[in-house]
Amino acid sequence: MNYILASQSPRRRELLGKLGISFEIEPAVGEEVPCGETPEEIVKNLAAAKASEIAAHHTEDADAVIIGADTVVVCDGEILGKPKDRRDMAQMIRRLQGRAHEVYTGVALCYERDGKHCCHSFAECTRVHFYPMSGEQIDSYGAHSDGLDKAGGYGIQSDAAIYIRGIEGDYNNVVGLPIARLYHEMEQKELIG
């Protein structure tokens, strides 16, 4: 199999490496257009769009398995994507502090099977609980955090870790790739040995 990760995320790259497979990186560059009725549908569709974009470049490679992923944070039914700037990031953290929210990651696998293009997608949800934060802590976080490139404005594996009270579900899903579920989905589809 020729595995290709349709993402430039260093976190996804690191997590996918835990499968013990060799893979290439070929980030999707198309515009992300959310579509779907639920957060689960939206992340599955975004992941499928990314994987399909890269799969279109590999139509002659019958062994290609393209892996696309997308993560969103959901608070009170509203999707929080990546913040526009530091002020937006602080606003997101202000909403998340002292309460629970959900993190959805959609994953799509595009591959050829018996001469047909296949795309299998799934979504994982993890509930994350934040400790309460003071206004000063939120302002400091907004000014200095590395959360600008992360859904919801934070990374559970980085400086936001000191504010995470607990999670219900898969930690790696919050980082950006539910690697255990991915492994089992790939095993069921006979895409990994």
Active site residues: 70
Helices (H), the chain: 10-16, 39-55, 86-96, 135-144, 171-175, 179-188
Let me know: does 106 contact 44? Beta carbons within 8 Å.
Answer: yes
E-strand ranges in 34-174 read 64-75, 78-80, 100-113, 116-130, 164-168
